[in-house]
Amino acid sequence: MTNTEVLIQELVQKHGRNRNALMPVLQGVVACEKFLSESAMIAVARELDLSAADVYGTASFYTFLDTKPRGKNIVRVCKTISCHMQGKEEIIKAIENHLKVKVGETSHDNKFTLLTANCLGWCHKGPVMLINDEVFPSLTPDKAIAIIEEFSKKTN
């Protein structure tokens, strides 16, 4: 059994095999592996007696249930209008230059994936970004890079 399959079995032990266990199980996989691989979705389908297409349908609906490979840290810069007016474009450019990636890509050391997000609800303190589950408001390009660097040091 692969590590993913072991993880999924543990999650199923915890959440059960009903259809309504699908979301927590998928979230559990993403929490550990950052994204849902083809084999992970198949393993979930097998455990919950669903079709693989069905699992993919649910996974693809939610932005935070990624089905593409992601780095160890996921950076999401808010792209909605308030953050846009407060300079989100400069933040994105700075991070792109620093990590040598474009939005949607993962850094070569696999430490970061850079994405954008719809409104994070921090319009009063934009521009804002989310790294994994943590919010970083009132960004400047320098501040954003300093935060990224801190995460980089913490990540093996």
Partner 1 sequence: MVNLKINNTPIQVEEGTTILDAAKRLNFRIPTLCNHPDLSVAGNCRVCVVEVKGARLLAASCATPVSEGMEVNTNSEKVRIARKHVLELLLSEHNADCTKCFKNGHCELQELASEYRYGDHIFIDLVKSGDKVLDISSPSITKDASKCIRCQRCVRTCTELQAVSALAVVHKGDHQTISTFLGKPLNDVVCTNCGQCINRCPTGALYERNYIEDVWHAIYDPNKFVVVETAPATRVALGEDLGIETGQRVTGKMVSALRKMGFNKVLDTDFTADLTILEEGTELLTRLKKALVDKDETVKLPMMTSCSPGWVKFQEHIFPELLDNLSTCKSPQQMFGALAKTYYADKINIKAENMVVVSIMPCTAKKFECNRSEMRDSGFKDVDYVLTTRELAMMIKQAGIEFDKLEDESYDNILGESTGAAVIFGTTGGVMEAALRTAYEIITGSEVPFTNLNIKPVRGMEGVKEASIKIKNTKPEWSFLEGVELNVAVAHGLANAKQLMETVSSGKSNYHFIEVMGCPGGCIGGGGQPIPTSAEIRKRRADAIYAEDMGKTIRKSHENPEVVEVYKEYLTQPLGHKSHELLHTHYKVRKRY
Residue 19 near partner 1 by CB under 8 A:
no
Query: Which two three-digit tokens encode residue 106?
Result: 């993962």
**Which of 5, 54, 96, 105 is in the footprint of partner 1 by CB under 8 A?**
54
- What sign results for the dihedral spanned by CA atoms 8, 9, 10, 15? positive
Minimum CB distance to partner 1 smaller for 18 or for 51: 51
Minimum CB distance to partner 1 smaller for 45 or for 103: 45
Minimum CB distance to partner 1 smaller for 57 or for 69: 57
Instruction: Quote the least distance from Cβ 17 to partner 1, whole Å.
Output: 14
- What sign results for the dihedral spanned by CA atoms 99, 104, 110, 111? positive
Ordered DSSP codes for 85-131: HTTHHHHHHHHHHHHT--TT-B-TTSSEEEEEES--S-GGG-S-EEE
Residue 50 near partner 1 by CB under 8 A:
yes
Instruction: Quote the least distance from Cβ 47 to partner 1, whole Å.
Output: 11
Quick note: the x/- pattern for partner 1 over 57-76, rule CB under 8 A, is: x--xx-----x---------
Residues touching partner 1, count (CB under 8 A): 16
Distance, CA of 151 to CA of 135 (rounded, Å): 13
Cα→Cα distances 40→35, 75, 85, Å: 9, 23, 39
Give strand pairing partners of 130.
76, 135
Contact (CB, 8 A) for 144 and 93: no
**Which of 23, 42, 135, 147 is in the footprint of partner 1 by CB under 8 A?**
42
Instruction: Quote the least distance from Cβ 57 to partner 1, whole Å.
Output: 3
Where do contacts with partner 1 occur on this chain (CB under 8 A)? 38, 41-42, 45-46, 50-57, 60-61, 67
